[in-house]
Structures are given as C-alpha cells and as structure tokens.
Structure 1
C-alpha cells in the first residue's frame, strides 16, 4: 500500500527586527499549510527575526525577543497537529547560533544549529554566529524559564540529530550547507532520512536561480528522498532582495515551485508524495553498501504518523505530479526584482513616492521603467484582491480609492524632472518629456544655467579667476570642476524637489519622496560619476546591473510594456551632457571613460569574481581578447582600469545603496571590502 504524505514549505516576506509582523506571517503560513492537510511545515532561515539583521545579531535583546515571540507561536493551539520547523537565533553556552527549532503540539523536539555558515560574497554569518561543526554531535540545552512554563520541559536536545516518526525520518540542512562539498544531505540520506528540510535566506542575482535549482535537484537526484526548500522573499531592509522560489523536490523531480518575484507576503507550497517512491528509488546496491560506511545520527522519536493510516487508505488522496522548472529571462528579472525591492522600501518606510532626475539617457530610462513595472505589479495584485497590497496602497496614497491602471498609480507616486543646461540637447529633453507622458509620471522641466552661472561668478569674485571648458582652452582640472558643478547641483535640486513636490501638489500631509539614483554597475566600477552628484540618492535600483543588461531590458520592455518610445533611448549615444556641444564635439561616455561597457563588464567580473589583480587580469585577457587586441593594447587597458579603479575607490564609501544584482558590485559598504586609499600605480604588478 502507498504511504502518502502531504508536506509544505513557504516563502515569507520577513522584515529585520519586525518581531510581531514576522510572527503573524509565520502563523498565517501554518494556518494555510494545515488547511492544505500538510503534516510538516518548514519556513525560511531566521524567520523569527528576519535574516538580514546584521549587527543586531550581536545584541542580547535580539535573542530574548526571539524567545518571547517564539513562545507566542508555541502556545498557540492553532499551530498544533502539524510538525513545525522554525528558524531563529539562539544563545547556547554563551555562544550565538543560527538555529532551527522543530516542535509538535507545543513541545520542542530538538534544536538544530547551523553547521556550516555562509561567510563569503555578501554574507558575514561568522561575524554573528558560531558554526556547530561537529556533525552527528548532540548536547543538552536548558530552555528559558519562559518556554519551560509553556512546554513543561526543562532540557531539550541541541545539535546535529534527526526526528523519527512512526512512518518516516526527518532531517535538516540549512542554506549554505547545501552548497558545501560535503553537504549534510548525503550522510542524512545514507542513514535513512527520507525528508530533508532546508531553511534559506538566498538573495537574487541575475541568472543565479539556475545554479540554486540545479543544486537543490542534485540533493535528491543521487541519494533519493524528499527535499523541502524554503526561502525568504522580499527586501528586509538592506541592499539584497530575497527571491523566494521555494520548492518541493522528490528523487530529483520538481513537484512544486514558488514564485520568484511576488508581492505576496505569505506563499505556501504543498505536495503529496508516496514515501514508497523514496524507498524504491534507494534500492540500489551501491546505496546500501555506502550506508554501512556512513555516520549514524541520533534520533528523537515521536509517536505520531504523518502519512494516513494505510489500513484505512483514502483513495481520493492523489500524489503530486512532477513539473518542469520555470526560469525568468534576465530581462524579466530586471523588471520584477528591483520593482519588488522598491515596493517593500516605500511601503515599509511609509513614504509617499519616488523622485527621479530623468536625463533622457538609457540609465534613468531603465530606472523609470522599473518604477512603472512596480506600479503594474501593484495594480495587478489589487485587481486580484491582494488585501495586503490594497492596504499598503491606501496608506501610501492616503486615500481609499485604488487607481485602476499602472499609469494612474505612477502619476500619484512617481515624480520625474529633466534638469537641463545649455549643454543639454533638445533630443534628451524631448525623450524625457515623452517617456514621462507614456508612463504617467508627474514631470517637471527646468533649466539650471542661471544657478550655475551664479556659482561660477561667486568663485570668480572670490578668487579673481574664471574656469573655462577644455574645448575652449581650459585645463583638465577646470573642465572637471565645471562639469561637477552641474552634477552636484542636480543632487541638491533633487532633494529640494523631493521634499516639496507633494506640497506643491496640495498634499502637505504627505512625507517626502525617496530620491532615486541611476548609475549602473560599470560606471560605478570605473568611478565615472561625481561624488555627491545625482548618483547620490536614497536608493539606486540599477546600481548592480550592467549597461549591456540594461539595454537588453529596455529592448524587452518595448513589447512587454507597449512603449515604442524606448527605441529612441536604445539608439542614443550615452552621454553625460556636462560639456558644451559644438559642431565638432559631443561628449561620449565611452570615450570619456576610456573603455567600452563590454570591456568594463568583463574586467569587473575578472577583478571580483575571479579575484584577479593586474597581472592575473592581463594573462586572462590575453586569451579573451587575442583576436582583436594586441598584448600592448591589453596591457594599456589593464593599467588604465586599475588606475581609475584605485583613484575612485573613495567614491564607493558614499555609494547609494543599490539593488544587488551582480557579484562584481564595487559597493565597499557591503560587497567590495578593499581599502579606499590604494596606490594607483601598482608599480610591481
């Protein structure tokens, strides 16, 4: 007879330190899982606190409040009748651990600390937690008095062990552990564990999901078994966006896959699986032989059956069929990921909208389209009756009526401005106006020439000298200073307009607007921006996205959003428009930088992902560029790259928090932990 078991995993939009909100979302997921007849529910990593608490994990208050909030879940009888796997931080013997607590009917079964911590790339878990390291090792844990009064337990098991029921065995693996060479799921499977849960806090990067899914599928493709993967979703207050996509997999086949980008705060997946399929899959002789050499896990037995009684078998219960994995195109990831990230920011900070300097170039255009995509996602969810989104829209707009279209919502919360000078072209101005009309943003045109002239006059009166542009005979330093005046004025004006535009629109009870920057990852890497110019903002949705990917995104958006105007942006030459336009000269970004965007993207990945210094990068580029550059030209490019990278590192200390979409982001506040004072000569290299 079959042994059908219904299992659940979930994606929750948790917010760092939002204890009550996080608790409520956990309770909602448990309620939904029970309604779907699930017997086991697994949630995201550190779901009680939110994953991205950073140095809050060093505060004892965080651990006290975690237990207080967990106690409200534990004693809530609505959570009984289902095996719960909940993530939270715990102090044991004065050491901080990233843990999972497994409970049933208000009793704690065991506490499983994370064995291998994520401590590279974007993650610093060893700054906060101690890895357990000792596999198959278990100690005793004294429960807090608060919990003892609820469970009537003084001591529970703490360590690397598993749970056995009357009909199956359940073990845990946490996020990073799946990615390690000696992943726990291998020894767990060989010791007869049939169901493995994985709580995760995995962030989105372009094209990253393919890697994650292949690893999840591989976890059971060789060993057999059921794998419940739960991932956080949304922005929990930092630069990362956790992209959900929770999964249930059996014997290497996907049975359920969650959404990667969604405005739902709670998403629960379930699947019904025959445990006999796992046992049949594992009947290979090699599995049996290796199991005799593998380690043995201590088992905590509970006298419950998770699959229906086979004697009273219900023929109406049907196993879940396998399905192909769904992947978004990179262009879709750009449209939806930063859009969801921005929505979380605006609703959680109780802001009233966004302000964007719209230059007429492709970068600010892409940023504007991301906001428009956000508006479309929000309106679509409102039409589907998403109560949380409807509530958030009403709070942001401070009115009860919900806009009917994305364009209507855009007009209420999105504000754009073309900040022109005598160096601006009529083409960029017209592109900005037309785009704002198509997407519905509240748009303003202004000319800054008089303000610029007054600042130059002030300098001339104070020093007796007047700077002039290089094309008129001025020096390089004069030329840069004159460009920077315009760039920095745009930042000042952006914040002025962001604070006062709601007031101008007779919405004086509104808070100010969030200012958006629009410097792409390649320009930030090269330092091709002015410190404290309009790249200095509250948020930058495209700061981790390459120019090439942004172009592909705009090309895709033409049809998806039905905006043929975007063709004009694709065909325009990228230019900062900070120098005078003459018959013989038009400023070009790529000429100014000394690199094409293709070159910067390749060199950025070699520098960060492949960890190349000047010599290593030169050697690799000899092969990559051998068909169209000489060794001398490659050498010159590498020297220039590291020169500009070094002298502009200081700009990254004040870099606007950006949506993290590429591993080669130069943001020194989180991703590129190199000094900002570097000898640019790299003389020995």
Structure 2
C-alpha cells in the first residue's frame, strides 16, 4: 500500500523590508505549489521580512510588520488547503528569535525557533537573535492580539517540536543547523520523523554548492527520509547573492532541483514521494532500530491533516518522482551567472538609469563588461517572464520596449569609456573599443592628458616644483604621485560621465551606477589607488581572484563567441600609469613583487586557514621548498614578509572599498566579512623574529646534511 505525497519547496527572491512584495511572492509560491498538487509548502529563512535586514532586526517595527503581513497570508483563502512552513522573526517573552511558523487553514500549529545561529563570515545572527539552545523543549506562546481578534486563536506551541499528520511526522531544521556536528535531523529521524524541512538564507560562494548539497544528501543517506531544502535567491540588498537551488532529496537521492541562478522571482520545486520507500530504507538500517530507544522523544503536535489523500490510491497516474543527477555549475559559469543576476537585481531595485564602466582594455574591466553582457543575455532570454519585461520597460521609461538582442538592452543601460593618457597603449585602446562594439555598450573614447597636465600645473604654481616620472630621473615619491593623480582623476570623470552621458543623448533615464573592477587579489595586496576608479557604486568582481577571472574570460570567449577576449587574456597585466619606453613597460606582477597565483595562496592561508605570518611561513616552506619551485627558506621568508608588509600598510584602503559581490572565502572586505584592524605594525616584529629563527635552524640542518653527504662520498 503506497502513501503518495506531493511536496513543494521554493526559491524566492525576497528583499529586506519589502514586506508587501515579499508577501506577494510567498502567496504566489503557495498558489503554484497547490496547482502542482502539493500538500506541504516550504519557504526560505525569514522570508516575510527578508533575510538581510541586518541591524533593522533590532527595530520592533520589523516584528510588528512581519505579524501584520503574516496575518494577511494566513487569512488569504488561496493559502488554505496546504500545510505551510513560513519563516519570520518573532519576539517570545521579550526575546527575539529567528523562527519557522507552521500553519494549516488559518491555524498556527507550531512556532519553531532556530536552535543554532550562523555567526561567522558574512553572518551575525547572534547580534540580532537568541538561539533556542534547549533541544526538545517547548513553551506556550501568546499570539499578538490582532491574530487573536481575527483568527480566534490566542496561543500556540513555541519550541523544538514535531508535527504529526494522519500519515507521517515532519520536523524543521533551519539553515545553519544542517552544518552543526549534532544536526537536529538525526534525533528527529530516530523519533520517527520522515519529512525534514530546511529553510535557508545561504549565499553564493565559488565552489560552495557541492559542499551544501553533499550535506543535504548525506542527511537522509544516513538516516533515511525526505529532505526539503528552500533558499532565498537574488540580491537581498547587500553584497551577498543568495543562490537558490531549492531541492528535494529522498533517502540520499536527489529527485528535484531548482535553479541556482535565474531572474525568476518565484520558483517552486515539487516531487511526489512514497513514504513506504522511507520506511523500507530505514528498516534496512539496523543501527536505526538500535538507536531509536536511546533518544529523548519530541513533543508532538497532533493534527488531523491528511497529506496523502486516500484518493491518491485510486489515481493511477500518480507515481513517485525518479532520482536525477545533481547539477553543479563550473566555477567559470558561477562567475558569469552569480554577479550578472546580482547586478540585474541591483539595477531594477535601485531604479537607476544603467551602469557606467571605465573600460581600460585590461582583463579586470573586461571581465566586468562581459558580466554585464551576460546580464543583458539573461534579461533577453527571460522576456517571457512578465516581471522581467515589466522591470525592463520601467527602467527604460519605454512601455513598448521589446529588445531584439542583448545588445539592444546594453545600448540602453550600459555605457563604457576608455580614459586614455599619453601612457596608454594603442593596443589597450583598440581592445576596449572592439569589446564595447561587440557587446553593444555606448562607448566614449577619450584622452584626459589636458586634465592631468592642468592638475600638475596647479601643484607647480603653488610649490614651484614639478614632479617627474622615475624613468626620467624622478624619485619614487614623484613617480607614485603622478600615477595616483591619473587614477583619481578617472574616478572623478567616471561619476561626471555617469551622471551626464544619458542627458547628452537626450535620454530621460537618469544617472547611472558606476562599476568598479578591482579583483580580490589586488584588494588583498592593496595594489590600487585609494579613491581611484576602484571607488565606485558596486563592484561585481571584487570577490573574484585574477586566476578565476582569466578562466572565466577563456570560457566566455568560447561560449559567447567573442574573439577579442583572447587578446585580453594574452596581454600583460599593466596599470599603464607610467610612460612606455623602448626598454620599459609597467607590469602589475613586477610592481607588486609577487604573482597573482601567490596572492591567492597568501589570501587563503590568511583568511580561510587563519594563519598569521609565522604559521603561513611554516606551511609555505613545506610546500614551496619542494619541486617544482625548490625555494630556499630565505626566499619563502622574504615572500611571506613582503606580503604581510603590503597587506598591513594598505589595510586602510579596505575601509573605503566599493561594496563588492562576495564570491571568495579569502575576501578582505573590511565592512562585513574580514573584521581586522587597519592600523597594524607592518613589520610584525615578533613573528618575523620567529621566522628568522626557523630559517637559521633549517640552514644549519641543511649544512649538516651536506657535510654528512660529503663525508660519505
């Protein structure tokens, strides 16, 4: 005898504090779930108010507004006839909690608070909420008087409990709880829970999805059961892109998986499962049968809800959903899709006139331009989505606008400019112009030598001294100042052009957002000018390494059929801020004193592996002293000390960096992710002393080995 149940989970593009918009998307997801025959619908974490409210969670208004919106959802007839698992913040006994609210037909069955809070990296949940660190404990919660007045319900259960329907038992697990050593799904499975819901606010990070999916599939591979994972999707108003991928897993096998990146505001994922498959799977596990008597039971909320109607047995068209292969994008695709979706959300919600990019002819600004090109492609390919078309026409101020190509969209919303000087090469100018033509941006090719000269003249008049470049006999101080003034003037011009270019074309779209294009490695090393054109409104590549950007451009060249991208790949990275002579061309890696590959390794060891200078030296010596590098202890020590010196003296730049799309675990973003001081002794004297002691010991040991080998010979 089968017990067939159709279940629904979803990706929702919620926005912090957009209460009415969030309500409409929640209701739409419920409608779609019911239309597909689902009897249970699960939504993302804190979906009523949006996950990214940050310090707004300290405001009582957020909790009051959330209850008001939840009451509208609860009272909407379209939301009845289906078991609902909805996320919102709730105050219980004067304490604020991140909760799941389980309801059916306008009755609240359970408020389940989050047990373990995410509190590292980009997350500060314990700044706003208190964890319910009392597993299997429950209390009575008095509902707001408006809920009591309208729905006639004064109290409900608040705590770590499970729901029992006529056929099965189900329990909640919220986001971070899946990643903890003692995940709730283990105890729940041993107490007979067969359906687990996980509502998440999980952000995109390169190469992260496979880790998340491995944990989800392993949860039921070990315990058996059905796991419904819901996630937020899109830009919630900050640096993170929540990457969806809602899915349903049965006994460790994926049966339904939503998209990781798309422009759809609502995406509902459903699957039909047979509960007998769960019971058969568990009965094959002797460990489950032995462990079931060793656990404290949960309080059970008993209901008369029928998730698997008896009529299902007579409907022979119903069949369980078959397992499918897990879909995971390659990193090159993630770089393309994640920032592109994030930029579209940012543009449509900010209501600005488009994006302006200083297009230098180098690989970083090239990658940024290609990401905008993909954004235009995604929009063009999603015109059958009414919301996408509505947003596009609203931004263009043209109610009849129907683009015929991605380039048509770029022509309206994307402006680029090559801001050249006498130090710019013909090759970079040509590459920038050709790429702009290929992707359809409105491009301005200009020289700014007169502006640079005017500023230098002002200094000369004021001081009586005129700086010159180092290759012409100037000092390092003069050389750096002359480079920086070019970079900073480009920032000033960028904002001028972003505000006035649409006006110059008689467009009524308003000012544009300025795009930055400093990669994560340059930010880590501080290889950029403070308040230059790295200072912008948003930066789609600020969390992506140079190495990954090169792989992305190689991928885009093939997949987008843009041959000019190969020229960007093969060009030597250069800032072009110093004069080019017959014997000298400025090179980024030579200027930095380290390669981009080395920077990536330094960054991961510093942030991900939590290494200081001494620990970093030890790890790198063991790696770099071996083939193919064969570096000496002195060489490794010098590289490590150089990195930490420039990291420290440039740390202050991170306090003013453009908000960047978060994509990499070793991001040095000072504003959210990497909370370290910006005034540090750059010599790290104690650590340097320890490194020198180890170098001395290594050399002494090597001399002993050499003498021993000579005596044997």
For 1:636, what is the secondary structure of its paired residue?
helix
- TM norm structure 1: 0.99
Tell me how far apart the structure 1 counterparts of residues 518 and 313 of structure 2 sit (CA, whole Å).
Answer: 64
For 1:485, what is the secondary structure of its paired residue?
helix
- What's 2:705 paired with? none
Tell me how far apart the structure 1 counterparts of residues 606 and 677 of structure 2 sit (CA, whole Å).
Answer: 15
Tell me how far apart the structure 1 counterparts of residues 316 and 2 of structure 2 sit (CA, whole Å).
Answer: 10
- What's 1:636 paired with? 638
Q: Residue deviations 1:501-527, cap 9 Å, x none? A: 1101111x2220000000000000000
Instruction: Please provide the CA RMSD for this pair.
Output: 0.8
- What's 1:571 paired with? 570
Q: Contact (CA 8 Å) 1:3, 1:310: kept in 2 or not?
A: no
- What's 1:625 paired with? 624
Matches within 5 A, 1:101-112: 101-112=101-112
Tell me how far apart the structure 1 counterparts of residues 262 and 429 of structure 2 sit (CA, whole Å).
Answer: 34
Tell me how far apart the structure 1 counterparts of residues 411 and 599 of structure 2 sit (CA, whole Å).
Answer: 36
- What's 1:511 paired with? 510
1:500 aligns with 2:497: no
Matches within 5 A, 1:161-310: 161-283=161-283, 284-309=285-310
- What's 2:352 paired with? 351
Q: Residue deviations 1:146-185, cap 9 Å, x none? A: 1112221111100000000110001000000000000000
Q: Contact (CA 8 Å) 1:108, 1:151: kept in 2 or not?
A: no
Matches within 5 A, 1:59-78: 59-78=59-78
- What's 1:678 paired with? 680
Tell me how far apart the structure 1 counterparts of residues 245 and 686 of structure 2 sit (CA, whole Å).
Answer: 47
For 1:584, what is the secondary structure of its paired residue?
coil
Q: Contact (CA 8 Å) 1:490, 1:533: kept in 2 or not?
A: yes
Tell me how far apart the structure 2 counterparts of residues 193 and 491 of structure 1 sit (CA, whole Å).
Answer: 58
- What's 1:646 paired with? 648
- What's 2:113 paired with? 113
Deviation at 1:313, TM superposition (A): 3.0
- What's 1:18 paired with? 18
Tell me how far apart the structure 2 counterparts of residues 312 and 680 of structure 1 sit (CA, whole Å).
Answer: 72
Tell me how far apart the structure 1 counterparts of residues 472 and 312 of structure 2 sit (CA, whole Å).
Answer: 93
For 1:684, what is the secondary structure of its paired residue?
helix
Deviation at 1:27, TM superposition (A): 0.2
Tell me how far apart the structure 2 counterparts of residues 5 and 198 of structure 1 sit (CA, whole Å).
Answer: 18
Matches within 5 A, 1:520-599: 520-599=519-598
Tell me how far apart the structure 1 counterparts of residues 600 and 273 of structure 2 sit (CA, whole Å).
Answer: 45
Q: Contact (CA 8 Å) 1:2, 1:310: kept in 2 or not?
A: no
Deviation at 1:404, TM superposition (A): 1.0
- What's 1:146 paired with? 146
Tell me how far apart the structure 1 counterparts of residues 200 and 623 of structure 2 sit (CA, whole Å).
Answer: 36
Q: Contact (CA 8 Å) 1:590, 1:596: kept in 2 or not?
A: yes
Tell me how far apart the structure 1 counterparts of residues 37 and 598 of structure 2 sit (CA, whole Å).
Answer: 54
- What's 1:603 paired with? 602
- What's 1:55 paired with? 55
Tell me how far apart the structure 2 counterparts of residues 648 and 537 of structure 1 sit (CA, whole Å).
Answer: 18
Deviation at 1:411, TM superposition (A): 1.1
Deviation at 1:468, TM superposition (A): 1.0
Q: Residue deviations 1:309-347, cap 9 Å, x none? A: 179532121110000101111111111100000000000
1:669 aligns with 2:671: yes
For 1:317, what is the secondary structure of its paired residue?
coil
Q: Residue deviations 1:18-57, cap 9 Å, x none? A: 0000000000000000000100000000000110110000
Deviation at 1:197, TM superposition (A): 0.3
For 1:84, what is the secondary structure of its paired residue?
strand
Tell me how far apart the structure 2 counterparts of residues 357 and 402 of structure 1 sit (CA, whole Å).
Answer: 28
Q: Contact (CA 8 Å) 1:113, 1:132: kept in 2 or not?
A: yes
Q: What is the aligned residue count?
A: 682
For 1:232, what is the secondary structure of its paired residue?
strand
Q: Residue deviations 1:371-413, cap 9 Å, x none? A: 000000000001xx11000000001111122111011111111
Deviation at 1:8, TM superposition (A): 0.3
Tell me how far apart the structure 1 counterparts of residues 560 and 647 of structure 2 sit (CA, whole Å).
Answer: 37
1:98 aligns with 2:98: yes
User: Is the deviation greater in 480-489 or in 142-151?
Assistant: 142-151
Tell me how far apart the structure 2 counterparts of residues 275 and 123 of structure 1 sit (CA, whole Å).
Answer: 36
For 2:452, what is the secondary structure of its paired residue?
helix
Deviation at 1:609, TM superposition (A): 0.2
Tell me how far apart the structure 2 counterparts of residues 447 and 38 of structure 1 sit (CA, whole Å).
Answer: 62
Q: Contact (CA 8 Å) 1:419, 1:446: kept in 2 or not?
A: yes
Deviation at 1:77, TM superposition (A): 1.3
Tell me how far apart the structure 1 counterparts of residues 201 and 443 of structure 2 sit (CA, whole Å).
Answer: 39
Tell me how far apart the structure 2 counterparts of residues 109 and 654 of structure 1 sit (CA, whole Å).
Answer: 48
For 2:170, what is the secondary structure of its paired residue?
strand
Tell me how far apart the structure 1 counterparts of residues 406 and 312 of structure 2 sit (CA, whole Å).
Answer: 55
**Uncovered stretches (5+) of structure 1, i.e. residues with no partner:** none
For 1:108, what is the secondary structure of its paired residue?
strand
Matches within 5 A, 1:318-333: 318-333=319-334
**Uncovered stretches (5+) of structure 2, i.e. residues with no partner:** 688-713
Deviation at 1:294, TM superposition (A): 1.5
Deviation at 1:106, TM superposition (A): 0.1
Tell me how far apart the structure 1 counterparts of residues 280 and 518 of structure 2 sit (CA, whole Å).
Answer: 55
For 1:276, what is the secondary structure of its paired residue?
helix
- What's 1:367 paired with? 368
For 2:51, what is the secondary structure of its paired residue?
coil
Tell me how far apart the structure 2 counterparts of residues 640 and 94 of structure 1 sit (CA, whole Å).
Answer: 52
Q: Residue deviations 1:440-468, cap 9 Å, x none? A: 11000111111111111100110111111
Tell me how far apart the structure 2 counterparts of residues 244 and 444 of structure 1 sit (CA, whole Å).
Answer: 38
Tell me how far apart the structure 1 counterparts of residues 678 and 305 of structure 2 sit (CA, whole Å).
Answer: 59
